[in-house]
Structures are given as C-alpha cells and as structure tokens.
Amino acid sequence: MTTRVEMKDVHKRYGSNDVIKGVDLQVEDNEVVVMIGPSGAGKSTVLRMINGLETTTSGEILIDGEDIAHPGVNIDKVREKIGMVFQHFNLFPNMSVLDNVTLAPTELGLQSKADAEKAGRELLESVGLGDKEDAMPASLSGGQKQRVAIARALAMKPDIMLFDEPTSALDPEMVGDVLEVMRKLAKEGMTMVIVTHEMGFAREVADRVVFFGDGKILEQGTPEQIFDHPQHERLQSFLDKVLNV
Ligand SMILES: Nc1ncnc2c1ncn2[C@@H]1O[C@H](COP(=O)(O)OP(=O)(O)OP(=O)(O)O)[C@@H](O)[C@H]1O
Ligand SMILES: [Mg+2]
C-alpha cells in the first residue's frame, strides 16, 4: 500500500498560540479519512498544512514520501497533485462554468484547450451539471456551485482531494447532491481527507474517522469504533452534542 500523506509530530503555532500540538496522521492510497471535532480544534489548519497553504512550526509532512518543507521540493508541483474544496466555492464570477473548470490545466500548460474542454465536459457530466457549461456562476445554486468547484479541482487530475466542510454553507436541500458526488469519488478510489459535520455521511463513506480536539488527534478508528464505541470522554460529549441537535 502506498502512503499518500504522512504527518509526523506536526506542530503549528500562531504567535504564542499553539494550535496544532503534535499530530501524527497517515493517509493511504484510496483511503477516505474523515476528520471531525469541535470548532477551533485545528481541522482546517491541518488540511491547509497538507497542501502547503500553511507552513508547519515543527514536524514533517510527506506527500508521496516527499517532505514538502524541504528546500529542494517544488511545492507548486506537489500541490498540483492535491485538490482542495472549501466551504465557499471561490469560483471566478466572470467566467463560464466550463472556463472555470478548464482554466488551471490550460494556464499551467498541462492540456490543450480542446483536451481540457473535452475533459471538463466529462467532469461536469459526472457531477450532474452537463447542461450548465455555458452558465455563469451567479446563476447557479450553492449546491451547483460547489459541484463546479469539485469538478474544477478534479480537472487537475489530483491524487488526493481535501474537503473542508464542503456542505456547511449550503441550504439543506442542496447538501445531498454534493455528498452524492463525493460518495461517487470515494467509490472510484479517490484518496480523500474530508472535514465534515455530516455524521451520517462520515459513517457511511469513511474508512477511518479521526477525532480532533484542542490541536491533537484524541481518537481514531473505523466509523463503528468512533460512533458506536467512542472511548475518549471528549469524543463522547462531542457526539452527544452533534447527534442530538
Ligand atoms: N491565521 C491564523 N492566525 C491565528 N490563529 C489562527 C489562524 N488560523 C487559525 N487560527 C487558530 O487556530 C485554531 C484552529 O483553527 P482551525 O480553523 O484549524 O479550526 P477548525 O477545527 O477548522 O474549526 P472550525 O470547525 O470552526 O472550522 C483556532 O483557535 C484558530 O483561532
Ligand atoms: Mg475549519
């Protein structure tokens, strides 16, 4: 089995504030890891460090065995392997849906315009938006925008996809379509790290659930272990809160 992501004793400090306090996390090829935990626990910070948007204060992060902080490493090349989808979609408002999807691979010279458009149309089809290629982002619903954002990330043919609460800004009726796209990606074998508050989805799609609290991994295991037999008192009280709202 190939290890895609390996974090070794990673710390992150902002000023005098220790926000990540020694995280060891491994993500294997084809694995779906779901990160849960209370607000401020450090989940987003961990995702941002994995794709190099944020540096570490100490410790190592290896992507496909390569230390991303090593001076000789081309971080842009590493990041091409990693797709990221945020809570807010950040589509380019003045470009059509298809142009949003084809922009990165064409600008970076990875694909001709024609090849990128062909691939882009297939991706839009796969996220259920085959009829929207000429639409402008402003005319789409939140759920549709988020599916375009996923297609745009996939257009770079990433080996790893990171999702930071991709459905938490959506109206409830839009959530299902976005989760469906992610479910399909998981079935196709995409390596994924997902931060979500959708516990039903986490249970269904995760190979492993990781519970963060106060800058550390407090517990991890299969969905059954985490949801049915939580050990850590903090995990038990977190689940009590989120499952009984
Ligand atoms: N750029 C920054 N500068 C200073 N502090 C930061 C910065 N980014 C995050 N933090 C702090 O780091 C801690 C972890 O934040 P993070 O956003 O990773 O939490 P989270 O688990 O994603 O929370 P949420 O569920 O609310 O999204 C918080 O205390 C936050 O205030
Ligand atoms: Mg967050």
Task: Supply the residue whose CA is at minimum distance from atom 17 of ligand 1.
Answer: 44
Q: Is the pLDDT of residue 81 over 70?
A: yes
Distance between CA atoms of residues 79 and 186, nearest Å: 20
- Position 245 pLDDT exceeds 70: no
pLDDT digits (tens, 9 = 90+) for 186-228: 999 999 999 999 999 999 999 999 999 999 999 999 999 999 9
Q: What is the pTM of this model?
A: 0.95
Does residue 42 surpass a pLDDT of 70? yes
How remote is the CA of residue 163 from the centroid of ligand 1, in Å?
16
Q: Which residues contact 78 (CB under 8 A, 6 or more apart)?
A: 52, 63, 66, 68
State the average pLDDT for the chain.
95
Task: Identify which of 7, 34, 44 to mutate to test ligand 1's pocket (most ligand atoms within 8 A of the CB).
Answer: 44
Asked if 50 contacts 61 with a C-beta cutoff of 8 angstroms, the reply is: yes
pLDDT at 89: 79
Is any ligand 1 atom within 6 A of the Cβ of residue 16? no
Residue nearest to atom 7 of ligand 1 (CA): 14
Q: What is the pLDDT of residues 141-191, one digit of tens each?
A: 999 999 999 999 999 999 999 999 999 999 989 999 999 999 999 999 999
| Tally of CB atoms within 10 A around 201 | 20
Check the CA dihedral 178-195-86-243 and report its sign: positive
Tokens of 101: 């999807």
Ligand 1 and 43: CB distance under 6 A: yes
Query: If you ran DSSP here, which 8-state letter would residue 60 be given?
Result: E
